[in-house]
């Protein structure tokens, strides 16, 4: 009797477990919302303790003994990625320059990035004569970037294909440094210069802080001149000035951040949200994108989308494509000469934390940022101009809720 009861019970448990498994597998096919918050909490990709440790590395101030510079921009990632929490934006801009010979953009000697600081006054970089192409670039948000990295490249190509011909965003592929420079569809930086957060971390550690690392073993010059006499820390393989491979912690931190959360939603915000779509802003500032399923191998084989990042709906308000909206800064990075006057549609999530807008930070008012769009966005701006004053302020109330 007892045995029969046990048998019935265990059969029941087994059937129940299978039902739960089935329900879960069906359920897991529907994307879920990515977690959002300016709260210094992990998105679940790693433990909170690991997240806290990675955050400290992202905030760590490097000095000369650790390899800082000799030419650099700041001492820590968080110096420029901090508002309102570590990983966000800041008012800090960078300077880029070069020359246009009538056909091609040519880098400033030593590269288009002009470092603003040096560990010795003798090697301070300055823009040299003949480099008439100049621009500032504002710091970008990195919160939620793990979800952007987890977007399947085909999804970005499909967005481009769905856009009207006159507004079709340009897809470029860029090298993934940790995958032997295998090419992947770009998505990070004002110029879409990277596709992987580890590649971006290695690039930033070298170019912002002056720390060579396993992906970038060659120190920068000063306006093209060697700085070897000012560089006490060797740049030898395997990891250069980054023996602990901090670049992995930077990438892991950014991958584990939550997406920027929405601000308060009011009736005006809802009305502005509809107007944003009605005038066509959402053609480039795409509202919702679903990330690749967990287990998808990305970044040229170097990364597998983890469960916390896979099959998530995100609301970045970007297509991650390059467009000419009449504001091009004339600089060429990883995309070739055809991208000279194009910029990636900046994600608008978290934009309520930004007071200086557009790539150069020179626009300090939402309405003026919209009116500055021309080129491919001309038709959409004409639509915006037909809105009433009330409708325009509703649209801006919506922007301020992002
Ligand atoms: C001196 C300021 C500064 C420092 C320091 C800095 N960054 Fe940045 N960061 C920027 C700017 C400016 C941009 C936009 C650059 C561009 O695209 O032209 C940017 C862009 C990025 C992006 C692209 C974000 C996106 O979604 O497109 C990532 C990722 C990033 N930085 C990571 C890092 C890491 C990691 C460090 C530390 C090793 C770092 N940054 C240090 C200023 C800085
Ligand atoms: C053709 C694509 C396209 C369309 C349409 C478009 N944008 Fe943009 N938007 C861009 C690009 C590209 C930039 C970056 C320009 C720059 O930095 O010089 C940008 C920048 C912005 C910025 C500045 C964001 C920041 O963080 O600095 C805001 C705000 C913005 N757009 C809002 C809008 C609104 C509102 C509309 C609709 C009226 C709109 N955009 C239509 C592509 C587009």
Q: Is 225 helix (H, G, I), strand (E, B) or coil?
A: strand
| Ligand 1-lining residues (CB < 6 angstroms) | 73-74, 77, 79-81, 92, 94, 137-140, 142, 145, 188-191, 197, 200-201, 204-205, 208-209, 250, 254
Atom of ligand 2 nearest to the CA of 379: 5
Rg (alpha carbons) of the chain, rounded to whole number: 23
Q: Indicate whether residue 370 lines ligand 2 (CB < 6 A).
A: yes
Report H helices in 144-223: 145-149, 153-162, 197-207
Q: Which helix (H) or strand (E) holds 391?
A: helix 389-399
- Give the bridge partners for 113, in sequence order: 96
- pLDDT band, residue 28 (cuts 50/70/90): low
The pLDDT of residue 164 is 98
Which of residues 3 and 259 earns the better pLDDT score?
259
Q: Is 201 helix (H, G, I), strand (E, B) or coil?
A: helix
Q: Does the beta carbon of 327 sit less than 6 angstroms from any atom of ligand 2? A: yes
Q: Is residue 29 part of a domain?
A: no
* Residues 316-359 pLDDT 10s: 999 999 999 999 999 999 999 999 999 999 999 999 999 999 99
Whether residue 37 lies inside any domain: the answer is no
Q: What is the pLDDT of residue 29?
A: 81
Which residue's entry shows tokens 């710091």? 139
Is residue 266 assigned to a domain? Answer: yes
Please tell me the predicted confidence (pLDDT) of residue 7: 44
Q: What is the mean pLDDT of the chain?
A: 94
Q: How far apart are CA 127 and CA 112, in angstroms?
A: 10
Give the DSSP H/E element, type plus range, for residue 243: none
For 170, phi then psi, to 5°, come to: -85, 130
Is 13 within the bounds of a domain? no
Is residue 236 one of the residues assigned to a domain? yes
Q: Taking the alpha carbons of 84, 344, 297, 301 in that order, is the dihedral positive or negative?
A: negative
The verdict on the CB of residue 305 being under 6 Å from ligand 2 is no
Q: What total number of domains does the chain contain?
A: 1
Query: To the nearest whole percent, how much of the chain has pLDDT over 90?
Result: 93
On whether residue 86 sits in a domain, the answer given is yes
For 76, counting Cβ atoms within 10 Å of its Cβ (0-12 exposed, 13-18 middle, 19+ buried), the class is middle
> Given pLDDT bands bounded at 50, 70 and 90, which one contains residue 182?
very high
Are the beta carbons of 291 and 324 closer than 8 angstroms? no
pLDDT of residue 5 exceeding 60, the answer is: no
pLDDT tens, 119-158? 999 999 999 999 999 999 999 999 999 999 999 999 999 9
The pTM for the full model equals 0.93
Position 62 in a domain: yes
Other CB atoms within 10 A of residue 339 CB: 23
If you measure from the C-alpha of residue 172 to the centroid of ligand 2, how many angstroms do you get, rounded to a whole number? Answer: 19
Q: Is 138:89 a contact under the CB 8 Å cutoff?
A: yes
Identify whether 268 is part of a domain.
yes
Span of 1-10, 46-55, 143-152, 298-307 with lowest mean pLDDT: 1-10
| Maximal C-alpha separation, the chain | 96
Asked whether the predicted pLDDT for residue 20 surpasses 80, the reply is no
Rounded CA gap, 169 and 157, in Å? 9
**Separation CA 128–CA 254 (nearest Å):** 35
Q: Which atom of ligand 1 is nearest to the CA of 347?
A: 26
Query: 78 is in which domain, residue-wise?
Result: 48-399
């Amino acid at each position: 009797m007892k045995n029969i009861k046990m048998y019935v019970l265990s059969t029941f448990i087994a059937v129940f477990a299978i039902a739960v498994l089935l329900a879960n597998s069906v359920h897991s096919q529907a994307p879920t919302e990515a977690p959002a918050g300016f709260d210094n909490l992990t998105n679940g990709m790693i433990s909170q303790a690991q997240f806290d440790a990675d955050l400290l590395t992202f905030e760590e101030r490097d000095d000369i003994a650790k390899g800082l510079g000799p030419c650099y921009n700041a001492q820590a990632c968080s110096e420029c990625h901090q508002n309102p929490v570590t990983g966000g934006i800041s008012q800090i801009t960078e300077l880029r320059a070069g020359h246009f010979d009538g056909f091609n953009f040519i880098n400033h000697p030593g590269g288009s990035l002009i470092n603003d600081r040096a560990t010795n006054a003798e090697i301070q970089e300055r823009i040299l004569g003949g480099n008439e192409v100049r621009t500032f670039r504002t710091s970008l948000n990195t919160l939620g970037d793990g979800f952007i990295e987890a977007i399947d490249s085909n999804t970005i190509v499909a967005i481009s294909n769905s856009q009207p011909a006159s507004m079709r965003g340009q897809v470029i592929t860029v090298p993934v440094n940790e995958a032997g420079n295998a090419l992947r569809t770009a998505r990070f930086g004002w110029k879409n210069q990277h596709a992987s957060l580890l590649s971006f971390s290695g690039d930033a550690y070298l170019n912002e802080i002056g720390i060579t690392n396993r992906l970038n073993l060659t120190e920068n010059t000063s306006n093209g001149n060697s700085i070897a006499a000012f560089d006490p820390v060797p740049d030898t393989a395997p990891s250069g000035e980054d023996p602990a491979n901090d670049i992995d912690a930077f990438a892991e931190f950014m991958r584990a951040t939550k997406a920027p959360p929405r601000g308060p939603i009011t009736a005006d915000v809802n009305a502005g949200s509809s107007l944003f779509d009605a005038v066509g802003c959402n053609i480039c500032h795409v509202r919702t994108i679903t990330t690749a399923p967990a287990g998808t191998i990305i970044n040229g084989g170097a990364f597998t989308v983890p469960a916390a990042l896979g099959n998530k709906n995100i609301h970045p308000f970007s297509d991650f494509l390059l467009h000419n909206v009449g504001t091009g800064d004339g600089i060429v990075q990883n995309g070739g000469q055809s991208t000279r006057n194009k910029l990636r549609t900046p994600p608008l999530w978290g934009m309520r934390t930004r007071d200086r807008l557009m790539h150069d930070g020179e626009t300090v008012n939402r309405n003026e940022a919209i009116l500055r769009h021309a080129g491919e966005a001309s038709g959409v701006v004409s639509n915006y101009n037909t809105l009433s004053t009330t409708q325009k302020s509703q649209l801006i109330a919506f922007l301020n809720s992002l």
